[in-house]
Amino acid sequence: MLTSVSFLKKNVARFVCIAIVCCSALLTGCASGSINDASQTGAQPHVRPDNIYVYTFDSNPDQVKLDNGGMLKKLKSHIDGSSAAKQQSADAIEVREAVANEIVHQLQSMGLRAIRSDIPAPADQNVLLVQGSFDAIDSGNRRRRVLIGLGAGKSEVSSAVQILYKPAGGTARLVQSFNATGDSGNAPGMVETAGVGAAAGSIATSAAVGGGLHAVSETKQAGVSADAKRLADAVAKQVAQIGVSGGWLSTEHTRG
Q: What is the CATH number of the domain that holds 119?
A: 3.40.50
For 39-43, 62-66, 90-94, 212-216, which range has the lowest pLDDT when averaged over its residues?
Answer: 212-216
- 3-state SS class at 201: coil
With a CB cutoff of 8 Å and minimum separation 6, the contacts of 167 are 45, 47, 126
Quote the CA–CA distance of 138 and 156 in Å, as a whole number.
5
What was the pLDDT predicted at 244? 95
- Let me know whether 143 and 209 are in one domain: no
Most confident of 128-137, 188-197, 204-213: 128-137
In this predicted structure, the answer to whether residue 109 has a pLDDT above a threshold of 90 is yes
User: Is pLDDT above 70 for 216?
Assistant: no
- Percentages helix, strand, coil for the chain, rounded to the nearest 5? 50, 20, 25
pLDDT level of residue 194 (50, 70, 90 thresholds): low
Vertex 155: Cα angle to 154 and 157 (nearest 5): 135
Q: Cβ distance 185 to 207 under 8 Å?
A: no
* 74-83, 148-157, 216-225, 227-236 — most confident range: 227-236
Same domain, 36 and 118: yes
Q: Would you state the pLDDT for residue 209?
A: 45
Same domain, 227 and 213: no
- The reply to whether 161 and 246 lie within a common domain is yes
- Better pLDDT: 184 or 150: 184
Same domain as 26, residue 49:
no
Model pLDDT, residue 217: 47
146 or 149, greater pLDDT: 146
Q: Give the domain extent around 201.
A: 1-30+187-217
163 and 74, same domain (yes or no): yes
110 torsion bin: left (phi>0), alpha (psi -120 to 50), beta (else): alpha
Q: Residue 34: how many CB atoms within 10 A of its CB?
A: 14
> 24 with 149, same domain?
no
Least confident of 24-28, 77-81, 84-88, 232-236: 24-28
| Total domains, the chain | 2
Tell me what pLDDT residue 159 has. Answer: 97
Task: Please report, rounded to a whole number, the percentage of residues in the chain having pLDDT higher than 90.
Answer: 46
Residues with Cβ within 8 Å of 251's Cβ and at least 6 positions away in sequence, in order, are 244
- Is 134 within 8 Å of 159 (Cβ atoms)? yes
Rounded CA separation 97/134 (Å):
12
Weakest-pLDDT range from 110-114, 185-189, 193-197: 193-197
Residue percentage of the chain with pLDDT more than 70? 62
How confident is the prediction for the chain on average, in pLDDT? 77
Ranges assigned E (strand) in 206-254: none
- The pair phi, psi for residue 28, each rounded to 5°, is -65, -20
Do 87 and 192 fall within a single domain?
Answer: no
pLDDT at residue 15, rounded to an integer: 45
86 and 23 assigned to the same domain: no
The residues, ordered by sequence, that sit 6+ positions from 95 with a Cβ below 8 Å of its Cβ are 59, 134, 137, 157, 224, 225, 228
Q: Judge whether residue 108 has pLDDT over 70.
A: yes
With contact defined as beta carbons under 8 Å apart, do 158 and 224 qualify?
no
87 and 138 housed in the same domain: yes
| Residues 19, 58 share a domain | no
Asked if pLDDT for residue 22 goes beyond 50, the answer is no
Residues 67, 158: one domain? yes
